[in-house]
Amino acid sequence: MTASEQELRAAFSAAMAMPDGAAQHAALDAAIRAADAAGQDRLAFEFRDDAIEKYVFGGDDRRAFLAFSLSLAAYDRDPEIGGPGTEHSLLWQFKWIVNALPDFPDIPLDRTYRVLADMRARYLRGGHSLHPVHQARWQIALHVGDLDQAAASYHDMVTAKRDGLSNCSVCVPTAQADYLNTLGRHTEAIAVAVPHQNSWCRTQPARVRTSLMTAYLHTGKHRRALELHRLAYRTIRTERMHLASLAVHIEFLARTGNETRALELVERHLPWLEAPVSPADTLSFLGPAVLVLRRLGEAGHGAATVQGPTGPDGRRAVLTVDVLRGQLQARAEELAARFDARNGNTYQSELLRQRIGAEPVLGKLALSVLDTVGRRTRPLIAQVQTRVAERTAAGDVAGAALARLDAAYLLREHNDREIRLTAAEEAALAVERAGLPDALLRARELLWDLYRAAGQRDDALAVLELLLAEPSLPTPRRAELLDQAALLFWGAPRAERREQAAALHRQAGDRLAELRSLQDAVVCLSGAEPERAVALLERADARLADPPADADDDAWDTLAGRLHLTAARLHDDRDDDVALARAEQAMRCRDDDVRIEAAVFTARHLLRRDRPAEAERLACDLVRDADPANAYRLHVVRAAALRALGREEEQAAVMAAHDIEPWELDYGADDDDYDDEDDD
């Protein structure tokens, strides 16, 4: 039995809503295959068109190649298969495909050039600028080592007119800066890229900042290069699609006397090679990685142990620096040889040798944020900085690490986010290396607060996992952390964490906190999973009916009022009697905000049930006792009730007296379904 269009769309929408990655790509493929099997050609075309971007930016170019090939063939058979923007969409996707094809050595260059020629012909037929065609031709030539063709195509691109199919205004100058850096024209690279260093797109500004980092390093502006290293690496360190940019940062560290820090990045990101975006990205990473290991070996650290690749048992191998270097170099040379065989030259192997043998740009660039803060901040941390220097000179690793942690706490309110975060990260790394578990817990608590405040959810959740894995962490604190983590989400993921927190609060004997977590979980599930919300509400009601003897009376009353109001909203379209009964209970709450919210809900409920006289009477009864904000909400309700009653003069008078806009009568004034006071 074939699926209906509605079922197919539901399956595809569910797949599109999944987090980026392999699981999503498999679900998208399944939805597309189902549309094909159902004979829904237009739907399958639509699905592929939407999925291609997910594949490209989710790191699965091969899926993108197949989907694009099938879409293009379908469009050529039937140009009406898509909507009005179909041709533009396909021409835009051409750029992604033709730029990615050279990154796979098993794909012949002839195929890439045929796709490029097809792209050029279609752009010409459509009357579009060849700007993106020239850019693609330039970057293909650069990859295969045809530097003369690269220079010619670069000139063609920069002199061509931009139009709506040109790459974004940040990515083009980023590519230019990369090229100019390759040619050693670093000052020109800065001039091209610096106007865009704070601009945004899907992969920016991390890439343009990485290009500028390299240019500043080679022009002597070392402090600025370091600042851009910190900014860009923070963005790219969690996204596999930035593997090639990450390699530039490893090279930056290796060539500025920071091989130890570079090795940490190699160890951290080596597992990305298990599922790289492309073989070209792998090769980009391997060159600087071998450079780091070579320099460490030559400095006498070849026997030091490091984390190597992941084995068949899922565990990271423990290898020496020299052994890992040998493995990675052999892999890099084999991969470069594959590209050279496909390209018909030795350019990639020569480029690899240059990267592995690169010499330092300067002896030692101080990385610590404590050494690079501005003059206004120096007095704040002067004493701690002195302690770090003294303890380091004395060989007291633990003392220096604890001083760094003190500095991080001093800088936690600094107005520069990067300084706040970097100081805390450096401190966490230092106390972990020093083997100080209590200090490490403090450092991670600090990072948890800072990452959440900075909106860096992935980093925050990574730290949370480490905190929850700490056996010494008290149960109340575990519950509090889960409550805090819940605020990073909405819907079912938030409710799940609230439920976990509620269980821990109950275990710790904090009934008020347990009820608060359950109430928010009900709110989060009310729209998407109402049946589950009802089940949670029953649990919360059971807790509400049995208050602890030592409960704070006012806090319990307020939370009870909020739970009743939540229940009223949950039952609003399910059971009128229950909804109004729970709202009436909420109106008995001593908290003014809860009571007025319940009154507004009740009045609007009555209005929707064609009972405007009762709604108007309720608003009049409560408006005198309300604060200005809540009074306004009640005036809006009253005006809507007067309109429904046909009392137009009174309605006009109320609206004029309180500056109420007509649209507010239908949508309410700040009458949200949820109160998010915990989010503040």
Note the pLDDT tens digit of each residue in 410-440.
Answer: 999 999 999 999 999 999 999 999 999 999 9
Dump pLDDT digits (tens) for 189-228: 999 999 999 999 989 999 999 999 999 999 999 999 999 9
The per-residue pLDDT for range 1-29, each reduced to its tens digit, is 578 999 999 999 999 999 889 999 999 99
Which residues on adjacent β-strands are paired with residue 316? 310
86-92-94 Cα angle (round to 5): 105
Res 670: pLDDT:
43
pLDDT for position 295 = 97
Q: Tell me which DSSP letter residue 83 carries.
A: -
Say which range, 140-154, 540-554, 556-570, has the weakest mean pLDDT: 540-554
Reduced DSSP (H G I as helix, E B as strand, rest coil) percent helix, strand, coil of the chain, to 5? 75, 0, 25
- Provide the β-strand partners of residue 120: none
Q: State the average pLDDT over residues 487-492.
A: 92
pLDDT bucket at 520, cuts 50 / 70 / 90: very high
DSSP state for residue 320 in the 8-state scheme = E
| Count of CB atoms situated within 10 Å of the CB of 230 | 19
CB atoms within 10 A of CB 593: 17
Output the pLDDT for position 421: 95
589: three-class secondary structure by DSSP: coil
Backbone CA torsion sign across 284, 289, 292, 297: negative
CA–CA separation, 336 and 173 (whole Å)? 27
State the average pLDDT for the chain.
93
pLDDT in tens, 333-383: 999 999 999 999 999 999 999 999 999 999 999 999 988 888 888 888 899
Residues 240-256 pLDDT 10s = 999 999 999 999 999 99
Mean pLDDT, rounded, for 34-56:
96
Average pLDDT over residues 564-579: 90
Q: For the residues of 370-432, what is the DSSP string, one character each?
A: HHH--TTTHHHHHHHHHHHHHHHHTT-HHHHHHHHHHHHHHTTT-S-HHHHHHHHHHHHHHHH
CA distances from 302 to 257, 305, 310, 311 (A): 17, 8, 20, 22
Instruction: Give the contacts of 538 (CB within 8 A, at least 6 positions apart).
Output: none
Q: What is the pLDDT of residue 673?
A: 43
Question: Among all chains, which residue has been given the structure tokens 């003369």?
Answer: 148
Structure-token pair, residue 363: 């002896």
Rounded percentage of the chain residues whose pLDDT exceeds 90: 84
Residue 483 has pLDDT above 50, yes or no: yes
The one-letter code for the residue type at 256 is T
pTM above 0.85, yes or no: no
What's the pLDDT at 624? 82
Residue 669: pLDDT over 70: no
Task: Flag the least confident range among 385-389, 470-474, 669-673.
Answer: 669-673
pLDDT exceeds 60 at position 668: no
- Contact in structure between 403 and 384 (CB atoms under 8 Å): yes
The pLDDT of residue 1 is: 53
**pLDDT higher than 90, residue 605:** no
Give the model's pLDDT for residue 45.
97
Nearest to 521 by CA among 570, 561, 476: 570
Place of tokens 């050693």: 184
pLDDT at 672: 45
Q: For residues 377 and 419, is the Cβ–Cβ distance under 8 A?
A: yes
